[in-house]
Amino acid sequence: MSQAEHLNQGQRAEDKALDYLEQQGLELVERNVRYPFGEIDLIMKQGQIWVFIEVKYRQSKQFGGAIQAISQSKINKLRRAANHYMQCHNIDAQCRFDVVAIDAKAIDWITNAF
């Protein structure tokens, strides 16, 4: 798979995750927030709670699926990026980290994943 195909597949997975989460009542704030030290796929709100979301796509669960693809390093980068985002936007509110794991057959939404 070429890099462009991989990026398109990732974008489609993010779009699918966003549609799913909006159907669950979450509100999009921002997407694809990038800092030199980390990236946040989706930033949403559920009521007063800020939700930082990592979207993972895998074609199958053969090698553990999407959720197993999130390393401790990735978790640390996401936490750092979320902390920076909240500081930059003067947000003093409850937040959580969710994962939306997508494969060819299912969407799994894991709230408070880490």
What element of type H or E holds 46?
Answer: strand 38-46
Count how many Cα atoms sit within 13 Å of the Cα of residue 5 in the half-sphere of its side chain: 2
Residue 58's DSSP bridge partners are none
Residue with structure tokens 């693809």?
69
**pLDDT reading at 88 higher than 90:** yes
Structural domain harbouring 84: 3-110
**pLDDT (0 to 100) of residue 6:** 52
- Better pLDDT: 22 or 75: 22
Q: How many domains does the chain contain in total?
A: 1
- Write the pLDDT tens digit of every residue in 35-84: 999 999 999 999 999 999 999 887 655 555 566 668 889 889 999 999 99
In the chain, the percentage of residues whose pLDDT exceeds 90 is 61
Residue at 26: amino acid letter = L
Residues 84 and 39 sit within 8 Å (Cβ to Cβ) = no
Residues 32 and 76 sit within 8 Å (Cβ to Cβ) = no
Chain-centre distance for alpha carbon 106 = 16
**pLDDT (0 to 100) of residue 61:** 56
- What is the CATH number for 96? 3.40.1350.10
- Better pLDDT: 62 or 24: 24
